[in-house]
Structure 1
Amino acid sequence: MKLTPSVVLDAAEYYVDHVDGKHDVDKCKVFRNLQLESDESMVSSLKRLSRPMHIVDFTNNELVCVPDLSGRNDIHTVLLSRNQITVLDGGKLPRKIRNLVVANNNVCSLEQLNGLKNAPGSLETLVLRGNQVCHLQGYREHVIRAVPSLRVLDFERVRQEERIRAGELQDVDIGPEAVATGVRRDKSLEIADLVVSKMSEERKNELKAQLESATSLAEIARIEKLLAGGV
């Protein structure tokens, strides 16, 4: 399905119930579960998004790349879990983005993360859990080096020792051969994968239903963490 101007105009909108002790302050546009595909018309269609808009939710579609929202400075959160995204282009993110969730997509190599170097300096929280790239040795340091402004990566606070190790990484291009298959894996993420694999379909569907009706960033983050194997 294409993201046409009519789809943008007809998509549901709501105000987040509770943020930082305040009510009804963040407006969210919802494009969940529409089987949306990436195409050239998406750029012009997204210009129909009303202003101000603070959160855009593309969860559970067929997108293969990050939608271009680079012309917006009002959007602070973009939700892209359960799509088919392979490469992250930080240059397409909103200019004042703070939170980006790209859990359970198809990012497999460190090279596919290099575009994060173009992300705005406002980006503080990034979720990539559920992508194969998370299993690669040095994954966290690579992301932290690309996005020095990050404070939280995959639901875990960025530690000072990680920043030091990230600063020591050689400034070289990571080739496509650096993929998750056959590379040293992070044991904690192997456990997370095991948790998800043993989760019943009924439980997964129950969590997805809860996600569908979630109306706060905290609730969305909690459910996404469970679906990504966070324990």
Structure 2
Amino acid sequence: MRLTSDVITNARAYYNALKQRELDIRGIRIPVMENLGAAQNQFDVIDLSDNSITKIENIPKFDRLNTLLLSNNLISRIASGLGANVPNCENLNLSNNRIEDFGELEHLKDWKHLSNLSLIDNPIVVEKDFRARVVAILPQLTVLNFQRVTQKDREAAKQYMTSE
């Protein structure tokens, strides 16, 4: 199924338990992120979990967006230059996807307010020095894979950077 403006307009929209306005576009086998502009920057949370998305891309200017949920997709790539379009996005859930290259995480550097990232059940998590490498790439993180980023993690990241 394509993500058309009609799909977005007719998707379930509600206030979640945190009183955030959430758009639910889960589980309809969407292969490509497109036409998200139809959401008109009205949501704090957009849930695109349980689809068939392969790349994070085509995100329009969403000043309001705080949380982007993309778990249980097929994501292996992240487009560059999207951070300016989501200047207030703090939470990104990429659990159970196919990210295997730290280079893809480099494209999240311009997500200036990103503080909470989940990469659980991605091939990348078994890589040597996973936490240190992610924190080195994204030092603003305070939570990685639902665990607080500690001072020890930051020191390991610094050590990893100097050893490279």
Same fold flag (TM > 0.5): yes
User: Residue 90 of structure 1 contacts residue 117 of structure 1 at CA under 8 Å; is this kept in 2?
Assistant: no
Which structure 1 residue ranges, 5 or more long, are not aligned? 20-24, 174-231
Aligned residues: 162
- 1:12 corresponds in structure 2 to 12
State how far apart, in whole Å, the 2-side matches of 1:172 and 1:60 are: 38
Matched residue type, 2:74: Q
Matched residue type, 1:158: V
Matched residue type, 1:76: N
Q: Greater helix percent: which structure?
A: 1
- 2:96 corresponds in structure 1 to 104
Moved over 4 A (4+): none
Secondary structure of the residue aligned to 2:56 is coil
Fraction of identical pairs, as percent: 25
Q: TM-score, normalised by structure 2?
A: 0.90
Displacement after TM superposition at 1:89 (Å): 3.9
Matched residue type, 1:96: N
Which structure 2 residue ranges, 5 or more long, are not aligned? none
Q: Greater strand percent: which structure?
A: 2
User: Residue 121 of structure 1 contacts residue 147 of structure 1 at CA under 8 Å; is this kept in 2?
Assistant: no
Change (3 A) 1:6 1:172: farther
Q: TM-score, normalised by structure 1?
A: 0.65
- 2:74 corresponds in structure 1 to 84
User: Residue 2 of structure 1 contacts residue 38 of structure 1 at CA under 8 Å; is this kept in 2?
Assistant: yes
User: Residue 41 of structure 2 contacts residue 63 of structure 2 at CA under 8 Å; is this kept in 1?
Assistant: no
Secondary structure of the residue aligned to 1:48 is helix
User: Residue 54 of structure 1 contacts residue 76 of structure 1 at CA under 8 Å; is this kept in 2?
Assistant: yes
Displacement after TM superposition at 1:133 (Å): 0.5
Q: 1:46 aligns with which of 24, 29, 36?
A: 36
- CA RMSD for the aligned pairs? 2.0
